[in-house]
Amino acid sequence: MNRSTWEQFELDSQHHTIVPVWRSLIADTETPVAAFRKLTEGRDATLFESVEHGDRWGRFSFIALDPFVTLSANGLAVHVSPAPEADDLVAELMDAVPTDRGILAALDVLLNRLSAPKYPELPPFHGGISGYLGYDVVREIERLTSVPHDDLGMPDAIMSVTRLVAAFDHFAQRLWLIDNVYVGAGSDLAMLGRLYQRSQRRLDDLATRLSGADDTALLEPPDRVEPATPIAVSMPASAFEDAVEVAREYIRAGDIFQVVLSRRFEVGLTVDPFEVYRALRQVNPSPYMFFMRQRDAADVTLVGSSPEPMAQVIDGEAIIRPIAGTRFRGADEAHDRRLAAELSEHPKERAEHVMLVDLARNDIGRIAQFGTQRMTELLTVERYSHVMHLTSEVRGQVRDDASSVDVFRASFPAGTVSGAPKVRAMEIIDEIEPVKRGPYGGVFGYFDFSGNLDTAIVIRTMVCTGGRAFVQAGAGVVVGSDPSDEELETRNKANALFHAVGLAVASTPVETA
């Protein structure tokens, strides 16, 4: 079937508050980048893409745009920004959102009121609440009394309730256009008819915009890329090395086993952040590629290429995949194998990774049905475009009384950006790091309308706000850490973004006749 029907819409509206109206198109001449430009025309929107194992694009890409409402949070205060054309049904829904209990309480209320049917023919994401939940959202979960200086004033979280989705199936060469229609509870037949016809017009408009000409020029890359040079840093090298020594003292005193310290680099940016995203797709393709532009609720743009999921829920099963331990890829296959063996056998790398696996098992255990927790991977070497990592995977069936937001609460933040034990490590981070982390160390992803969750840790990400651009990177500190090595690790991790900025600036559009 190439499109939904009125009969299905009417039937599903009796049991759900959101009903997708959709159609599929042959899209063998379209790309996600070109479609994003044509559909959004500079407006707020999000693009999700994926590269598997560093060498092939994932099957699906998603563009989310025209949300019903966007939530932005600072501390426990939540600001609700409905779409300009929000109808009475949506206004009634927004009135139920608490604005003084934090973003997670707001998500609880929304997801309890929003349900959608599962259509097996549709791509895995076709509607939900998407955006970022920054590191400081943890203060809604744990009692942390010290808050670092907030020098940027960014929202702790921005989450949008998706209305329109354009989903690429790269294998089938199909593009799915999906309008998530909020029908509320008890809409009469006349109201449903109006909502359905309005939805058809929206899909017609999307198809028309996609059929238009794309004026995006091909880019000619330079022969040599000069990475961007940071113009400021939250902790200079000497200060960061001193911070590592302070952390080691806490470890020797028995407070913690490990802590992840980070620092923030500022880079000059003279091009559109979307051009940096285009470059990042080239230089650091990753399992979680994302671009989020948000100007209405706040001035924030994220450009991300994260290798690491934070937590997932797929059809009632929770999944956490710790990633820790890194080596660059080898010059050839034999060299690659030697580096992989060195990584998997290195005592320090194994010890750090196993600590994070223990955290993941503890997190899954908090929301899993008794007896369902299992380890499906342990200390596997996973290869990406430029590096290889040690990975493991823990799974468990989510209890009937736990939601996807509860899974998030149980697992946030990831141990790979905090430490072990988590709470004490976070207290030490608050003491040592001079500024709030913002999106860094939080998550980017979505809660869908069917109870699923897919989030990536916000690392390898550039944050643009107030005309400035920032890249933050961290290093895991253990008792045997060398301060200069950890300082170098933060620079190496940030380098992919510096390189992408350099490529975006130096690439030149191909002139047309």
pLDDT tens digits for 83-131? Answer: 777 677 778 888 889 999 999 999 999 999 999 999 999 999 999 999 9
pLDDT of residue 513: 59
Per DSSP, the residues of 428-494 read: HHHHH-SB--TTTTSEEEEEETTS-EEEEE--SEEEEETTEEEEEEEEEE-TT--HHHHHHHHHHHH
Domain count, the chain: 1
- How does 127-154 read in b/e, with b if 16+ C-beta sit within 10 Å? bbbbbbbbbbbbbbeeeeeeebeeeeeb
User: Which one of 17, 40, 301, 416 is the catalytic residue?
Assistant: 416
| Low-confidence winner among 54-63, 119-128, 277-286 (lowest mean pLDDT) | 54-63
Q: Is residue 340 part of a domain?
A: no
Catalytic residue among 288, 384, 440, 446: 440
- Give the number of other CB atoms < 10 A from CB of residue 401: 7
Does 268 participate in catalysis according to the annotation? no
CB 83 within 8 A of CB 63: no
The answer as to whether 332 is a domain residue is no
Mean pLDDT of 27-45: 91
Number of other CB atoms surrounding residue 194 within 10 Å: 12
Partner residues linked to 289 by β-bridges: 49, 305
**Quick one: DSSP state of residue 3?**
B
Which amino acid, 382? E
Q: Rg of the chain's alpha carbons, rounded to an integer?
A: 23
Angle at 294 between CA 288 and CA 295, to 5 degrees: 160
**389 in catalytic set:** yes
Lowest mean pLDDT of 280-294, 301-315, 324-338, 490-504, name the range.
324-338
Nearest CA-CA partner of 166 in 39, 288, 19, 26: 39
Residue type, 379: L
Active site residue 416: yes
pTM: 0.93
Identify the active-site residue in 460, 465, 474, 502. Answer: 460
Given a cut of 80, is residue 155 above it in pLDDT? yes
pLDDT tops 70 at residue 53: no
In a domain, 369, yes or no: no
d(CA 319, CA 83): 34
Determine which of 92-96, 187-191, 443-447 has the lowest per-residue pLDDT on average: 92-96
Mean pLDDT score, 457-485: 94
- Tell whether 174 is covered by a domain: yes
- Determine, yes or no, domain membership for 382: no
Of 445, 451, 476, 502, which one is the catalytic site residue? 476
Is it the case that residue 165 has pLDDT exceeding 80? yes
Taking 90 as the threshold, does the pLDDT of residue 388 lie above it?
A: no
| Candidate list 126, 263, 389, 499, residue with the active-site label | 389
Residue 449 lies in a domain: yes
Torsion of CA 130, 136, 137, 140, to 10 degrees: -170
CA distance linking residue 182 with residue 185, whole number of Å: 9
Cα distance between residue 367 and residue 412, in whole Å = 13
DSSP-derived secondary structure letter, 302:
E
End-to-end CA distance of the chain: 42
**How does residue 421 score in pLDDT terms, banded at 50, 70 and 90?**
very high
Is residue 185 included in any domain, yes or no?
yes
What percentage of the chain reaches a pLDDT higher than 90?
74
Q: Are 460 and 149 in contact (CB under 8 A)?
A: no
The one-letter amino acid code at 352 reads E
What CATH number should be reported for the domain holding residue 237? 3.60.120.10
In whole angstroms, give the CA distance from residue 326 to residue 355.
16
Residue 365 domain flag:
no
- Residue 399: active-site member: no
194 among known catalytic residues: no
Containing structural domain, residue 160: 6-214+226-316+398-507
